[in-house]
Every structure is written in C-alpha cells, then in structure tokens.
Amino acid sequence: MEELKALILSIQFMTGIPIPINIDVKEDKIYKIASYFPIVGLLIGSILYIAYLLLKDLFSREIVMTFLVAFSYILTRGMHIDGLADTFDGLFSNKEREKILEIMKDSRLGTNGVLALVFMVILKILFLSDIRQSLLFSALLVSPVIARLSVVFSIAISKSARGGKGLGGLLLERAGLREFVIALLISIMEGYFVMPLRSFLILIAISLAFTSIASAYISRKIGGMTGDTLGLVIELNELLAFIYFSII
C-alpha cells in the first residue's frame, strides 16, 4: 500500500495528469517517491506514443514531432524546461553563488534562459524527426524513463544547495542509493520489454556518466543541486536519449 501511495504521489508531482486522490504521507517519508520516477517516465512515453499513432497519418513527420514535444510539456506542466531555463539564467550570469541562486528563484526569464528553452525545443524536434521509424517506439517510451532515472541518480549523488527547502530539496537531502537502485531495477525491467537490453544498458551508462559530470559542475558553482537544476538534468538527458536513438 505504501508503494502504491508513493507511485501516485510521484505521478502527481512529476506530471499534470489528473489523479483526484489525496495522499497523506509524512514529510520524512515522501522522499521515497523518487524510486518510482522511471514508472512516471514510462507512463509519459506511452501517452506520447499513443498520440503519435493518432497523428502520424494526418500530418508530416516534422509536424507530428512538434506536436509530441509540445504535448510532453503539457503533460509535465512545463516544470522541467522551466528549471532548465532558470538554471541557464543563473549559471551563466557570471555572478557569485548567492546571486546565482537568487536569479534562479526569480520567475522572470533572461536571455540565457530563453535561448536554452528555444534551442531545447528545436533540438528535440529535429532529433526526434531524425529517428528511424523502426526505433521510434523504443525512443518515445525509453527516453522519458532514462531522463527520470538520471534525475534519481543526480539526487542520490548530490546535496541540496538550499538546505533542503522545497520538495526538490527534501528529495536531495533524504533520497539516496536505495532509491536509485530501485529506480535502476525498474528502468531495466521496463527497457527489457521495449528494446535490446545491451543497447539500453549502453544508453543508461552514457546518461549516468553525463549526469555525474553535469551534477558535479553545477554543485561546484552553487554548492549543490536545486529543483531547477534537477529539471535541467531531466531535459538534457531526454535530449541525449533522442540523440542516441538518432545515431544507432
């Protein structure tokens, strides 16, 4: 029962999918939702693939992929790409740590954030359009899984830059190796039924290596990770997965 509560909470936290259930969980236990992020990723991927099947005969490939990218942001309430934009605004402001954190907290977007947002959307559409038809099923289902596994890894290896404030901070302070191992096993089971296991494990290795480097770089700049930087990790790893599928 506790696992089901954690799964429902993870869907409510990571998406805008309406689940009209109020879950009462103690604050010191809510970090367990991180283990189920890859299931949320598979849910998002499955919805996107269904949308692809409904649209593929109506429009050109590029238009369909544009719809899918837009729909993915609707599903996630734009939460992750907002974090990407805020992080770019802060990290590339050439300011000190406290000022960077202040800029990231500001709801207004600067030039760096806008450029990051625009290029992320464009690159996702281009690389999705470049993926072979035979790999599209795997790409749409697996990429959101990989992105959310990567963020659990980042949470496990990082600390909170804001001292545990907010749900992102709570996850960074409480979730660790146990949650990552569970998320990894779930991801491997999901990937096993979607694509060749060897290719999936290679993608996991690339994603985790990239996430380790990105998390270390951000932590050196601001002393840890935040909810915004975790959003950046998800966005960059999803793009990384699209690139991987366009190459293989």
Indicate the pTM of the whole model: 0.95
Identify the pLDDT of residue 29.
Answer: 74
Identify the pLDDT of residue 179.
Answer: 96
Q: Among 53-57, 131-135, 162-166, 199-203, where is mean pLDDT lowest?
A: 162-166
Instruction: Report whether pLDDT(1) > 70.
Output: no
Cα dihedral value 212, 218, 222, 226, nearest 10 = -80
Identify the pLDDT of residue 28.
Answer: 65
Give the chain's length.
248
DSSP-assigned letter for residue 160 = B
The per-residue DSSP string of 66-126 comes to HHHHHHHHHHTTTHHHHHHHHHHHHHTT---HHHHHHHHH-SS--HHHHHHHHHHHHHHHH
